[in-house]
Structure 1
Amino acid sequence: MWNWRYLLVMGLCGTAGYEGQAAFAAPPEQGGTLSSAPIVSASATGQPVAAKTETKTWFSDIDVGLQLEAGAMANSGHPHNGMNFGQLLQSHSDTGLLNQVALTITKPVDPIGGGYGLGANIQMLYGSDARAYVITGISDRWLKHDRYQITPIQANIALHMPWLTKEGLDVQAGILASPMGVEVLNPAGRAFYTMTYTAQYSNPFEHVGFYGQWHLNSHYAVLFGVDAGNQKSFGRGNNNGRPAGYVGFNASQLAGGAVSVTYLLRVGPEDARRQLGTHRAHEAQRYWNDLNATWQITPKWSLTAEATQVHDEGLEANTWSGVLWGAYAATSSLTFNARAEVYRDSTGQFIVQYPEDGSYGRALLGLPARTYSAPATTYGDFSLNAVWRPQLGHHVKLLQIRPEIRFDRSLNNTRPFADFRHQNRILIGGDVTLGF
């Protein structure tokens, strides 16, 4: 529910894909987390589906969707280690990747009496992206030595409760995608094949816990949640045994429906006891701040901006970043996008590359893992692409083709690229996504 942001994605790249789930609202695909709109669900292919008042049985509107993504990014530096530094998903240079095969089973939120509604979501992902979206204690031991792994993206129940206000309270509990940030894992729900440094290193990915949105009215909602940590489960799957959580707000459909704003604060210990010791790992907090806004200027033009700041007490490290997206919908099936970012890693401990297939999950738990990292660096990047979504037959619900060119540069004279030999680099390539 937290990652459907339809307003901007209509400008950026059309309707959402498999991350549309059986939840409550449809905020802008690239510009917020939760909406305060009336209950609206999404099918497994991302098409909006109004919550139904009459069905033959509670199970009659279950939807099943399948989505596949593959792509490649060539690197101008031709690094000897074969890695696109600073890219967790498009990690291997000059190499084709099967990023995702995503199977989604969605039960939209339907009334169950007394003003209550109930739904459920299951989403499983196979592919190279699963290496970064691993959840320790759940999927970190599945195919852990393979380039293509398996991980659950969603496995939760969704509940609407007619409490406190007219619009009520919505909650999801189980395995959930993080609500923070603009760019999402679903390739049909973000503008570019590559991700920003912000999305990969200053936004969480996955959680085990619960999240809620309390709708104050049709425009404003309070956001909150508690979980086991970023990409952590419980017991041995947790690196420090302490919970974390969110609080924030969403303002949607402002200025006649053109503007949406979301702010989220996340607080909790994230560092491993194996690295800091038990006491320090329990006490040292990580503070994540994310503010983003979307402005649909005209039916063809849209802008999204995001600002983030992260402070980690245990690592004694800080990051800050700013990102701006612009989109022009030339036709109903063709959109052009631009993206610019500045990202500061004050110690070099956040922007890290994981060359081995299981090293990301091991690093989350504080276990020995092979990594590459650069010194303290201010990164700048600029990306251009086109998104083509031709309308096909009934059985193919999505065909998305995205050629992309991306320019990266260290803004403070470090050399983080191409085996730490170059101050800048160019990535060129793209991806193809199919949805059924």
Structure 2
Amino acid sequence: MRMTVIGTGYLGATHAACMAELGHEVLGVDVDEAKIEALKNGRVPFYEPGLPEVLERNLEAGRLDFTTDYERVAEFANVHFIGVGTPQQRGSYAADTRYVEAVIEDLVPKLEGNHIIFGKSTVPVGTAAALQERADELAAEAGNKASVEIAWNPEFLREGYAVKDTIEPDRIVVGVRGKDTNAEQAAREVYAQALENETPFIVTDLQTAELVKVSANAFLATKISFINAVSEVCEIVGADVTQLADAIGYDDRIGRKFLGAGLGFGGGCLPKDIRAFMARAGEVGADQALTFLREVDAINMRRRQRIVDLSREMLGSLIGKRITVLGAAFKPNSDDVRDSPALAVAGQLSLAGASVRIFDPQAMENAKKVFPTLDYATSLDDALRGAELVILATEWAEFKELDPKHAAELVAEQRIIDGRNVLPVDAWQSAGWEIRALGRSL
């Protein structure tokens, strides 16, 4: 098939490249000329394992191209995907949908013939219906040269695994406006390979499709905050939250995934999505339905402060103390520092008077844009050298596998906080380290 992908950020660029990998002819579009130029030259403007190879392979094969020209987009295909951002509104919990709305405003007046626009962006419920109404208005104003159908096809990408999640999805959800629709058949053609592999294909109404992604994220956030709430109790009574999580995780109604107690969640999705979900529930009159998500959010934010408090307990005072924070990205295998717990902790420690040094394998440049005044190490050894306290804040493999004896030769004091509960405690203690962790009595 021929298709366009509008928006070439993390979601859009990944979707465009992977659709081309599946054999489709794809044109990506964005208003950011620098981003488009980078992509046309095979450079991915963010870190995602495996994506550069997919991008280069399909550019060379001629199945993939990028542009800033909406006229070219309108002529190129009759199937379009929206992959622009929906950030949190300034001063509000609500999602900012202006970029999604701008796609409809810019594209629809240029269209002729029958077109299907699949939304992939995470939006408040009711957005698709409003976009359909506006698309119909714009088509009429342009002389009814085009018939435009809005459908919703939410994404379920995990940063670090986005290529696999796009090419081999665990489910496909398509929301359509009614029985008189061409969107379902178009989606079946787009995802033909996945359907041949018996991937679940769920066709529903627009509102349900819009709610699927935010509901999934709200559930995952709740599960993470649940175990972190329990870890607060564990710390007080002297229990071990990691053993507790193992024990309850054997119950197949619960499962062990997302029961990793520690510094909590961050990134560009979970925090903003649960807040937007709460805001939209209030707008539609379900004010009480999601109030528990406020506590989910609050528990998550308390984990960051707990690391700062634990640092103060270990050091006595933070003023002038040399602290190394291992990690800046919100999760490993990513350079995304949006709402990063690691970077938030580093910033709070610095504001409290500590001398903070950061190292991350991929997120250093993005971190510098957020906190340019912090000290950034050139290597892991450089980060450890002279530290009076080390905090493991992002569970990169090289941090989890760090040799405690080698690290001991570099630091000034052998103190470490395992903010992700991923280090072999016995090995670190045997090497002479004072080690603390969230939810454990060590």
TM range (shorter): under 0.3
TM-score, normalised to structure 2's length?
0.23
TM-score, normalised to structure 1's length?
0.23
Structure showing greater Rg: 2
Structure having greater relative contact order (Cα 8 Å, sep ≥ 6): 1
Q: Which has the higher strand share?
A: 1
